[in-house]
Structure 1
Amino acid sequence: MLTQINFYLLYPSTDRKVKGGIMYSVCYSRLTKGPQGNIIGSGIFISPKGVLEHAGSVGLSLIVWVCGGGICALGSMCYAELGVTIPKSGGDYSYVTEIFGGLVGFLLLWSAVLIMYPTTLAVIALTFSNYVLQPAFQDCLPPYVATRLLATICILFLTWVNCSSVRWATRIQDVFTVGKLLALVLIIVVGLIQICRGHYDALRPSVAFEFSQEPSVGQIALAFLQASFAYSGWNFLNYVTEEVVEPRKNLPRAIYISIPLVTLVYTLTNIAYFSSMTPEELLASNAVAVTFGEKLLGMFSWVMPISVALSTFGGINGYLFTSSRLCFSGAREGHLPHLLAMIHLKNCTPIPALLVCVSAALTVLPTLSRFTHNLINYVSFINYLSYGVTIAGLLYLRKKRPNLVRPIKVSMLIPITYLIFWAVLLGFSLYSEPVVCGLGMVIMLTGVPVYFVGVHWKDKPKCVYQLVERVTYIGQKVCYVVFPQQDLSETEPLTASKATD
């Protein structure tokens, strides 16, 4: 009711309302065909150092990279079943809300908005600035102020692009994907040439499994968390399931092709690193790909930082899209302010949701330490926690509603295997890094009182509703946004199936 009142305050014409809805449907559908499934990104240029540090040896770190891809494949198959069974936008958040109810869904949303996306955006933006500035500061770390300033400018510029035009945002993603592939192909090809020339001392089994520290289950768990940061994005396609053409065929096909390919690329990239760098050199490097280029590319070493900068630039663009989409879905469910579910009348872009996500990232950015791998543990722990809860929802839905139509139905062994690994990983990660991982859990649990006060409590004083309505009205005028027409079709399959259960 509130959104209808606000709409007519700004645009009393019924025709304009319908046109706005149509414009939203066309443009937002075009948006969802852009930056999705953003797996290959900046993580492969950030995580190798953390994986090696926690694994303790070259051989074990390569095993972690291969197994990490296998775990992602298991999770992806579970998400494929959920995606066609609950055909709603929002990915994990929508599934958990539908299965377990509003509180669990809100906690997932709360942790994503406060922890996962802002911190990930800030880490990728800092990686971008480090790689851009590293050639100018070869013998030392780039200045603190310079890295933060350049990262802030990058985030603000891409926010402006995403607010201004859907077409520009998707074109940026397409163009800068070339930067990712160029950097990785260059690293792999040069590394393989080095191996063919006999430079593979660090990869010999007798050397590769020499441990710099006593291996432990806890440290291996943290190595998996580091690798999972590079693989993150395998679930992004589920944010736009209803826009996928023939999801019953194309979702499994995307999984079977993309996950093994990404695993192969990441493993070969790490093998290439060790063809020219000792483990000590890799751990000492602030920008692994730049160090690799300086050792092997000679006068063309400038290609590497530029390629990685292009990759991270595109990664920021992709995360801006996904985070704003999640905020949009949360607002549509009533878990976030209605203003975040509105789009620009002409550009069809979710400007309020974008501004909230960027504000959170810019708030996190100045507080980030130089030890990025600790932050990756922090983010990846919450990420894995969300994945496990979502896949546990698949098992719960199987038991609670066995007759529900499932166009894709995976073997029970797949989610059970994933959850066993999930429990071991999170348990030993929490044991090894109780402060880093525990802090994420504490921040997530702070969402409980927020949910009961902000969402569950319906009989708030009238002045609260008046304040919210006033802020929404002002936000609409400032951002020139309206609430789009609700597309009921995305909930019809599930609703219809309830009648048949």
Structure 2
Amino acid sequence: MTEAKPEYKEVPTKEAEEVKDDNEVVGLKPKMTLMNGITVIVGSIIGSGIFISPTGVLKDTGSVGMSLVVWIISGLFSMVGAYCYAELGCMIQKTGADYAYIMVTFGPFLAFMRLWVECLIVRPCSQTIVALTFSVYIMKPFFPDCDPPDDSARLLAAVCILILTFINCWNVKWATRVQDIFTGAKLFALAVIIVTGFVQLGRGQTQYFTFDNTETDMSRIALSFYSGLFAYNGWNYLNFVIEELKDPVKNLPKAIYISISLVTVVYVLANVAFYTTLSPAEVLGSSAVAVTFANRLFSNYFTWVMPFFVACSTFGAVNGVLLTSSRLFYAGALEGQMPEILTMIQIKRMTPTPAVLFMAFLSLIYLGSSNIYALISYVGFATWVSIGLAVACVPWLRYTAPNLERPIKVNLFWPIIYILATIVITIVPMFAAPIETGIGVGIISTGIPVYLIFIKMRKPEVIRRFLKSIDTFLQKVMLVCQPETPSNL
């Protein structure tokens, strides 16, 4: 299949935004600036993780000191991965990020397995986790002394997903504007936490910063990285929309370095702030750490401020996941590994509407469970197996395709270290959480027969006609068509 070069094109008037000009090419158009790129990464990373992962990290490390070590190592680990992705992103400038890199490097089977993992587990599950956190925090002022009702939390999470689905289907500029606004809101919330933490440090509140009760079981320490790295999850999301980024060779690495450095500093300082006020027991017993922190320090008149801004943070993160994930499905469909309808663009709005709707549908399915930490275990195992495979593309392509143009060339020491570390954090936790890991392996394994039956083998004519009729019906309902190039017109 010939892959079209997708781009977004900005139109000057409201009328032109509403109705596509006859000469306008249908496709995704590049109009994301460096600042948009930074807000996409920061907005995608800083979501629910920093507000729920402190509990998960502390639970598996046993001490505040070791939990802070895990947070720092998780940031450095993410930076190394992003460094490797910068080389891949500037060398293989295709929508789909690591899916595209694995396709070029290892072929269609492993690329499909990566796509399957992302589609079935990582992206929809991550979005569900963030949406659930949004609903818990937005309702917390109404339930200050107990957890919000489970059914209400899931219903509100569904509303959050559906609102952002509409925005992403309607106008990509609206989606990026939401990202810009809510990134500011989440940074403000974290700034309040960090500044308050510095004040507490100035008062000598350091009694909890010890390594007492540190977990001696290394499998538990390794499992803690699932929670820590979940909070950093999203550092590779800009690579998924690289064809919509202006001057990607220049802006992609800048956006990655600025964003992850900022997030690492913010995360470590936020954790320090939490432990200046909250004891380990209070953190372990809290479903909303930031709210518990604010309730301890602020007057009753301001206790609603922290839940509101944390809800803003998670709302923006849901938008970031939805914005970037739909492009992964779009890229997979262009390669013929997902239904053809997912390659199509809404002819008036210039958005990948079918892919956005598909992502939202899968996320709503995961709302059948509200166990956030079990969902994180599924995501953690699947994510790091897949990302480790993508990073393995760097040394492999150095060996098999040394003449490829590489605007950024990393030292091979870094991808090798990253791959070895990935092996450790995917194998060792199997002993600490065998059930969750087994479920993750089982879900991933279902991709093998799907690939053999629907991708590798030739589909019978009756099935192909049936699938074609469904695509045609959906195309008419959503007013979508294949991306165009000037040569098609």
State whether TM-score is above 0.5. Answer: yes
Shift of 1:128: 0.6
Deviations 1:151-198 (A, max 9, x none): 111111111111112222121111111221111000000111011012
Q: Partners in 2 of 1:145 and 1:67 — Cα distance?
A: 36
2:326 to 324, 327, 330: 324
The letter of the residue matching 1:76 is A
Q: Partners in 2 of 1:69 and 1:479 — Cα distance?
A: 41
Matched, 1:136 2:142: yes
Structure 1 match to 2:90: 84
Structure 2 match to 1:374: 374
Shift of 1:423: 1.2
Contact 1:3 1:338 in 2 (8 A): no
Structure 2 match to 1:498: none
Contact 1:120 1:379 in 2 (8 A): yes
The letter of the residue matching 1:485 is E
The letter of the residue matching 1:477 is K
Structure 1 match to 2:383: 383
Q: Partners in 1 of 2:427 and 2:456 — Cα distance?
A: 31
Counterparts of 1:279-358 in structure 2, within 5 Å, are 279-298=280-299, 299-358=301-360
Structure 1 match to 2:219: 218
CA spacing shift, 1:452–1:195, aligned 2, 3 Å: same
Contact 2:20 2:348 in 1 (8 A): no
1:117 to 123, 136, 157: 123
Q: Partners in 1 of 2:398 and 2:21 — Cα distance?
A: 39
Q: Partners in 2 of 1:473 and 1:322 — Cα distance?
A: 26
Matched, 1:169 2:175: yes
2:56 to 50, 58, 64: 50
Runs of 4+ in 1 over 4 A off after TM superposition: 1-4, 16-21, 28-35
2:40 to 36, 43, 46: 36
Runs of at least 5 residues in structure 1 that lack an aligned partner in the other structure: 5-15, 489-501
Q: Partners in 1 of 2:486 and 2:324 — Cα distance?
A: 19
More helix by share: 1
Shift of 1:261: 2.1
Contact 2:61 2:215 in 1 (8 A): no
The letter of the residue matching 1:446 is T
- 3-state DSSP class of the match of 2:409? coil
Matched, 1:93 2:92: no
Contact 1:2 1:469 in 2 (8 A): no
Structure 1 match to 2:270: 269
CA spacing shift, 1:20–1:484, aligned 2, 3 Å: farther
- 3-state DSSP class of the match of 1:24? coil
Contact 1:54 1:222 in 2 (8 A): yes
Structure 1 match to 2:8: none
Q: Partners in 2 of 1:98 and 1:478 — Cα distance?
A: 34
Structure 2 match to 1:437: 437
Contact 2:20 2:347 in 1 (8 A): no
Structure 1 match to 2:15: none
Shift of 1:374: 2.5
The letter of the residue matching 1:36 is V
Q: CA RMSD in A?
A: 2.3
CA spacing shift, 1:333–1:425, aligned 2, 3 Å: same
Q: Partners in 2 of 1:159 and 1:320 — Cα distance?
A: 7
Contact 1:21 1:484 in 2 (8 A): no
- 3-state DSSP class of the match of 1:366? coil
Structure 2 match to 1:188: 194
Q: Report the more deviating stretch, 343-352 or 242-251.
A: 242-251
CA spacing shift, 1:159–1:412, aligned 2, 3 Å: same
CA spacing shift, 1:404–1:356, aligned 2, 3 Å: same
Counterparts of 1:467-478 in structure 2, within 5 Å, are 467-478=466-477
Structure 2 match to 1:11: none
Q: Partners in 2 of 1:31 and 1:119 — Cα distance?
A: 29
Contact 2:241 2:327 in 1 (8 A): no
Deviations 1:345-383 (A, max 9, x none): 1011111111111111111102232xx223212201111
Deviations 1:288-344 (A, max 9, x none): 001011001112111100000001111111111111111111111100011011111
The letter of the residue matching 1:363 is I
Structure 2 match to 1:62: 68
Q: Partners in 1 of 2:255 and 2:360 — Cα distance?
A: 30
Shift of 1:252: 3.3
CA spacing shift, 1:19–1:94, aligned 2, 3 Å: farther
Q: Partners in 2 of 1:399 and 1:376 — Cα distance?
A: 35
CA spacing shift, 1:192–1:105, aligned 2, 3 Å: same
CA spacing shift, 1:18–1:111, aligned 2, 3 Å: farther
- 3-state DSSP class of the match of 1:71? helix
Deviations 1:54-105 (A, max 9, x none): 1110000001111111111111111111111111110111100111111100
Deviations 1:106-141 (A, max 9, x none): 011011111011111111111011001112112221
Matched, 1:457 2:457: yes
Matched, 1:74 2:80: yes
The letter of the residue matching 1:389 is L
Contact 1:20 1:484 in 2 (8 A): no
The letter of the residue matching 1:24 is G
Q: Partners in 1 of 2:368 and 2:230 — Cα distance?
A: 21
CA spacing shift, 1:264–1:373, aligned 2, 3 Å: same
Shift of 1:397: 1.1
CA spacing shift, 1:260–1:166, aligned 2, 3 Å: closer
The letter of the residue matching 1:332 is L
Contact 1:3 1:483 in 2 (8 A): no
Contact 2:169 2:351 in 1 (8 A): yes
Q: Partners in 2 of 1:278 and 1:73 — Cα distance?
A: 30
Q: Partners in 1 of 2:33 and 2:82 — Cα distance?
A: 22
Matched, 1:398 2:421: no
Structure 2 match to 1:12: none
Q: Partners in 2 of 1:19 and 1:86 — Cα distance?
A: 32
Runs of at least 5 residues in structure 2 that lack an aligned partner in the other structure: 5-18
Contact 2:45 2:235 in 1 (8 A): yes
Q: Partners in 2 of 1:144 and 1:373 — Cα distance?
A: 15
Q: Partners in 1 of 2:483 and 2:447 — Cα distance?
A: 28
The letter of the residue matching 1:252 is P
Contact 1:47 1:230 in 2 (8 A): yes
- 3-state DSSP class of the match of 2:403? coil
CA spacing shift, 1:435–1:20, aligned 2, 3 Å: farther
Among all aligned residue pairs of Structure 1 and Structure 2, give the percentage whose two residues are the same amino acid.
45
CA spacing shift, 1:225–1:486, aligned 2, 3 Å: farther
Q: Partners in 2 of 1:257 and 1:357 — Cα distance?
A: 28
The letter of the residue matching 1:471 is I
Using structure 1 for the length normalisation, give the TM-score: 0.89
Q: Partners in 2 of 1:232 and 1:486 — Cα distance?
A: 34
